[in-house]
């Protein structure tokens, strides 16, 4: 049996727990498992930019000045200091420091050469910037993977660092080709592979997936090896609602669900599973388990292709407060074939996707992620009779089997009884996601009310 397992950055930072609870939990036979690791928490933010706040990192510095010598010095200090945290659990700090110092020196050399090319004026600087982003992104995972393999080896087990960053070769391979090349020569029954979450490929993993790249690497490895199971270890359980909103005592781990639900959540940016990951695993026929690193005895949540609850029920309450609704009202809409397509052409032209669409005879309400694209709004207003834009929130009732008319009635009643106005509503024929658009101020209240109604 082979399992491919991904360890997130927050968990990696507490690697003593990862070692005890995950990698060496079965000390009699820890083999047959492949571990794909993220960078330690905060490192990729420093290398690129802060994922949440967008505060600039080394990459931003390079784009702005075409130089980042000082910030690379700070990076080296930070990573060698971080290495000290793992000395007590077996890290050979001297080797770890030598590895990362050498890697950063090579990165400095690459970036200097790139800056020189940009200054020549003969190359497309945007393309060079993208290559710099790829190089910087690979650094965090190379650091954590080297350290992890070193620690596991020093604890008496056979381990190997599988560096998919291709830092020391000039082979022009796709992501899939590089994975195939590296894993064709590894016997997972005799060694524990610790793999970088970053994979170098001719198509550019950052260009395609940006910060979701480590989970994409993980899914591609699981697919290539036809793994018996894919596992993601996070610092929390996959829960029925956000414990930070409803309280930990009012949320519980979801034991079984399917990839359809994963896609519904990804659509509102609650990415329990990256959409590219769920599609890769679903098509390969590999089930995914999400586990809590710090609760190792809990079986976690299993995402599979065909799971459907035996009885109709609500399994998850989720939502987002980072959306707005655009309503287009035009009497010319009535009976006009293709009117909706005219609107969608504007969305396509401005590269804006939507989460929900509700229509009647002469109005269409469309929910999108908040944007300050004034040209988009102006184009709509120039073309259609009346365009209304409003910041809102969306709360969702989800389940693998909600084929019961009482569910939508119960949800709507719970909102109404708590003075929460429903602005728009959507439910497709599959009945896996009921979406309520509500006032922005009522977002957390809406999540709490619905969670209480179906608990």
Q: What is the CATH number of the domain that holds 160?
A: 3.40.1160.10
CATH number where 365 lies: 3.30.2130.10
The predicted-structure confidence for 274-305, as pLDDT tens digits, reads as follows 888 999 999 999 999 999 999 999 999 999 99
The predicted-structure confidence for 342-373, as pLDDT tens digits, reads as follows 999 989 999 999 999 999 999 999 999 998 88
How far is it, in rounded angstroms, from Cα 320 to Cα 396?
9
Q: 113 in a domain, yes or no? A: yes
Q: Are residues 203 and 321 in the same domain?
A: no
Mean pLDDT, residues 436-442 taken together: 97
Q: 206 in a domain, yes or no? A: yes
Position 438 pLDDT exceeds 80: yes
The predicted-structure confidence for 75-128, as pLDDT tens digits, reads as follows 999 999 999 999 999 999 999 999 999 999 999 999 999 999 998 888 889 899
Q: Are residues 329 and 431 in the same domain?
A: yes
Q: 263 in a domain, yes or no? A: no
Q: Are residues 328 and 448 in the same domain?
A: yes
Say which residues have a Cβ less than 8 Å from residue 307's Cβ, sequence separation at least 6.
256, 257, 258, 400
- Number of domains making up the chain: 2
Nearest to 107 by CA among 75, 84, 85: 75
Q: Are residues 358 and 217 in the same domain?
A: no
pLDDT number for residue 377: 87
Q: 299 in a domain, yes or no? A: no
pLDDT number for residue 101: 97
Q: 285 in a domain, yes or no? A: no
* Predicted TM-score of the model (pTM): 0.88
How far is it, in rounded angstroms, from Cα 439 to Cα 436?
10
Nearest to 212 by CA among 230, 199, 229: 199
Which of 203, 235, 267 is the endpoint of a domain?
Answer: 235
Which of 217, 235, 253 is the endpoint of a domain?
Answer: 235
119 token code pair: 């200054």
Q: Are residues 220 and 327 in the same domain?
A: no
- Per residue in 50-70, is it b (16+ CB within 10 Å) or e — as a string? eeeeeebbbbbbbbeebebee
The predicted-structure confidence for 308-344, as pLDDT tens digits, reads as follows 999 999 999 999 999 999 999 999 899 888 898 999 9
Position 249 pLDDT exceeds 70: yes
Q: 252 in a domain, yes or no? A: no
pLDDT number for residue 168: 83
Mean pLDDT, residues 12-25 taken together: 95
Position 272 pLDDT exceeds 80: no
How far is it, in rounded angstroms, from Cα 413 to Cα 324?
24
Which of 235, 256, 282 is the endpoint of a domain?
Answer: 235
The predicted-structure confidence for 144-198, as pLDDT tens digits, reads as follows 999 999 999 999 999 999 999 998 888 899 999 999 999 998 999 999 999 999 9
Mean pLDDT, residues 199-214 taken together: 90
pLDDT number for residue 271: 65
Q: Are residues 104 and 210 in the same domain?
A: yes
Q: How confident is the model at residue 52 (pLDDT cuts 50, 70, 90)?
A: confident
Q: How confident is the model at residue 416 (pLDDT cuts 50, 70, 90)?
A: very high
Residue 82 DSSP label: H
Q: 274 in a domain, yes or no? A: no
Q: Are residues 229 and 321 in the same domain?
A: no
Mean pLDDT, residues 377-405 taken together: 93
pLDDT number for residue 266: 87
Average confidence score pLDDT of the chain: 93
- Largest CA-CA distance found in the chain, in angstroms, rounded: 75
The predicted-structure confidence for 33-46, as pLDDT tens digits, reads as follows 999 999 999 999 99
Q: 65 in a domain, yes or no? A: yes
Give the least confident one: 45-49, 224-228, 376-380: 376-380
CA dihedral angle for residue 85, residue 88, residue 93, residue 94, rounded to 10 degrees? 140
**Domain span at residue 131?**
3-235
Position 386 pLDDT exceeds 80: yes
Determine the angle formed by the axes of helices 259-267 and 275-284, rounding to 10 degrees: 160
pLDDT number for residue 267: 86
The predicted-structure confidence for 127-138, as pLDDT tens digits, reads as follows 999 999 999 999
Mean pLDDT, residues 412-432 taken together: 95
Q: Are residues 50 and 160 in the same domain?
A: yes
User: How large a percentage of the chain has pLDDT more than 70?
Assistant: 100
209 token code pair: 């997936």
């Amino acid at each position: 049996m082979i399992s491919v397992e991904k360890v997130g950055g927050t968990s990696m930072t507490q690697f003593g727990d990862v070692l005890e609870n995950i990698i060496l939990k079965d000390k009699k036979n820890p083999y047959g498992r492949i571990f794909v690791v993220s960078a330690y928490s905060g490192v990729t933010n420093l290398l690129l930019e802060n994922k949440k706040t967008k505060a600039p990192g080394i990459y931003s510095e390079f784009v702005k000045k075409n130089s980042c010598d000082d910030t690379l010095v700070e990076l080296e200090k930070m990573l060698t200091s971080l290495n000290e945290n793992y000395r007590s659990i077996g890290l050979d700090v001297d080797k770890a420091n030598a590895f990362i110092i050498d890697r950063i020196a090579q990165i400095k050399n690459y970036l200097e050469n790139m800056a020189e090319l940009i200054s020549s004026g003969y190359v497309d600087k945007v393309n060079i910037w993208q290559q710099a982003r790829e190089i910087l992104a690979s650094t965090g995972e190379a650091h954590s993977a080297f350290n992890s393999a070193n620690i596991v080896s020093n604890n008496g087990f056979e381990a190997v660092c599988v560096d998919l960053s291709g830092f020391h070769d000039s082979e022009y391979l796709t992501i899939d080709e590089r994975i195939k090349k590296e894993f064709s020569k590894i016997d997972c029954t005799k060694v524990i592979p610790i793999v970088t979450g970053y994979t170098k490929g001719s198509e550019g993993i950052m260009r395609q997936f940006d910060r979701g790249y480590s989970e994409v690497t993980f899914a591609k490895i699981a697919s290539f090896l036809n793994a018996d199971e894919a596992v993601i270890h996070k610092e929390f359980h996959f829960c029925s609602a956000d414990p930070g909103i409803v309280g930990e005592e009012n949320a519980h781990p979801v034991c079984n669900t399917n990839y359809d639900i994963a896609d519904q959540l990804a659509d509102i940016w609650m990415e329990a599973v990256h959409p590219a990951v769920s599609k890769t695993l679903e098509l390969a026929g590999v089930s995914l388990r999400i586990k809590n690193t710090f609760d190792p005895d809990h079986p976690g949540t299993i995402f599979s292709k065909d799971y459907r609850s035996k009885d109709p029920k609500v399994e998850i309450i989720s939502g987002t407060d980072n959306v707005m609704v655009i309503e287009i009202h035009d009497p010319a809409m009535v009976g006009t074939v293709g009117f909706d397509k005219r609107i969608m052409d504007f969305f396509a032209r401005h590269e804006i996707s939507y989460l929900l669409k509700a229509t009647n005879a002469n109005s269409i309400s469309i929910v999108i992620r908040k944007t300050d694209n004034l040209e988009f709004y102006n184009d709509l207003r120039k073309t259609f009779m009346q365009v209304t834009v409003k910041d809102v929130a969306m709360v969702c009732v989800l389940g693998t089997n909600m084929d019961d008319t009482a569910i939508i009635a119960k949800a709507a009643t719970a909102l109404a009884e708590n003075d929460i106005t429903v602005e728009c509503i959507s439910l497709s024929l599959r009945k896996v996601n009921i979406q309520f658009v509500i006032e922005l101020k009522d977002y957390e209240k809406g999540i709490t009310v619905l969670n209480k109604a179906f608990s």
